[in-house]
Structure 1
Amino acid sequence: MNTREKVLAAAEELFAEQGYDATSVQQVVARAGVTKGALYHYFSAKEDLLFEIYNSLFTEQTAGLDRIVAQHSDPATTIREIIDDLVITTAARTRAVTVFGREGSRLDAQRWQTLQAAWRRYQDRVRKVIREAQESGEFSSTTSPEVVSWAIFGFTNDIHTWYRPDGPKSAAVIAKELADFVLNGLSKKEDGK
């Protein structure tokens, strides 16, 4: 783990344990085992740490979406892979999601708007996959792409509140069940069967 990663890991742990406001830069550097100079080499302020904790996860998820969409698979495979990626990456970083959910309001307007703009682009790309499959007749158009995406994102955004790595179902199993659920709702059923 490099210095930047050590600092981020320490900040994430401390923000989760005691909250953003109660955590000092000195505590972060002590937990990371680095100097303040090393921290300030990568981050100009404590708020940068909070932003990067979530941004690093979202950057990973955006790269996953880019990779999945670039494969030009059929829509069902694409949606399944998107859900799989979202569930697994979110489950792997539940502490980061918890910290951001609890402390994200501490971000200044510019950082918040940066994340919101990236999030809207992500949602729009997923909705585009659904919309195009509905327009081509591959998916049922009973439910709008917006509602389908809200179901996916609402589920994945709340994973941090209930998922446990040692629980009865792995993230991969949960992802498969969610994808089955979503794709069943999007399937074209014939004659009400």
Structure 2
Amino acid sequence: MAARTTTETVGAHEAPVPRRLLAVATRLFAERGYDRTSVQEIVEAAGVTKGALYHYFGSKDDLLHEVYARMLRLQQQRLDAVAGSDAPVEERLRAAAADVVVTTIENLDDAAIFFRSMHQLSPEKSKQVRAERRRYHERFRALIEEGQSSGVFSDATPADLVVDYHFGSVHHLSTWYHEDGPLTPQQVADHLADLLMRALRP
């Protein structure tokens, strides 16, 4: 898979060391796979020493965690802003549903690396990531429950299943979406968000 734009795309040797290491690690993990990329290859490509890597990241495992965590932080910030607005709940949910699609596509290598390599995280990091994802999903689910309790959305399907339905589609984006395909990120986001809203229609 060719490396795509991520939240940390930077010039080769112009960025601060942590960002440079993360950009290089993302590219190598995407091209070769996490388990086939060595720490030595990362530091050589970034033009730094192993000591510099271990100063900012305790291990290769920390790099893998940060690849995903930076995307999730962005998505959480955007979801919190949307969910906390004064807009009607149907507008807030649709905006949140579309945003997670767009931000995932814009950071597709990050998402692909994570879902391909999550099982290789240490137990501690895996637990941390699951907690971070759960917080995001719970905020998203709260929007669905708000609409269901007020009668705006159908309550025929439990909110947990609705969340799984939408995020199942999001998690598979890295397996089929291509930048040169017929749909833009926003068009894909609009289609998937509309599917979700139709499923919740009373």
TM-score by length of 2: 0.88
Aligned residues: 188
Question: Could you tell me which of 138, 141, 144 is aligned with 2:155?
Answer: 141
Question: Could you tell me which of 148, 170, 181 is aligned with 2:184?
Answer: 170
Q: For residues 65-97 of structure 1, what are the alpha-carbon distances to aligned partners after superposition, in whole Å with 9 as ceiling and x for unaligned?
A: 111112132111111111121011110111111
Q: For residues 34-59 of structure 1, what are the alpha-carbon distances to aligned partners after superposition, in whole Å with 9 as ceiling and x for unaligned?
A: 23232222111111101111111111
The residue type equivalent to 2:57 in the other structure is F
For structure 1, list consecutive stretches of 5 or more residues without a partner in the other structure.
189-193
CA RMSD of aligned residues (A): 1.2
- Structure 1 stretches (4+) deviating beyond 6 angstroms? none
Aligned partner of 2:49 in structure 1 is 35
More displaced, 70-79 or 168-177?
70-79
Question: Could you tell me which of 165, 173, 183 is aligned with 2:197?
Answer: 183
Instruction: Give the Cα separation in 1 of the matches to 2:35 and 2:116.
Output: 11
How do 1:1-193 residues align onto structure 2 when only pairs under 5 Å count?
1-188=15-202
Instruction: Give the Cα separation in 1 of the matches to 2:164 and 2:115.
Output: 17
Q: Is the 8 A contact 2:83 2:93 kept in 1?
A: no
Instruction: Give the Cα separation in 2 of the matches to 1:127 and 1:24.
Output: 39
Q: For residues 77-120 of structure 1, what are the alpha-carbon distances to aligned partners after superposition, in whole Å with 9 as ceiling and x for unaligned?
A: 11111112101111011111111112111111111111111111
> What SS does structure 2 have at the residue aligned with 1:61?
helix
Instruction: Give the Cα separation in 2 of the matches to 1:127 and 1:65.
Output: 11
> What SS does structure 2 have at the residue aligned with 1:52?
helix
What percent of counterpart residues are identical?
38
For structure 2, list consecutive stretches of 5 or more residues without a partner in the other structure.
1-14
Instruction: Give the Cα separation in 1 of the matches to 2:41 and 2:187.
Output: 38
Instruction: Give the Cα separation in 1 of the matches to 2:187 and 2:70.
Output: 24
Aligned partner of 2:8 in structure 1 is none
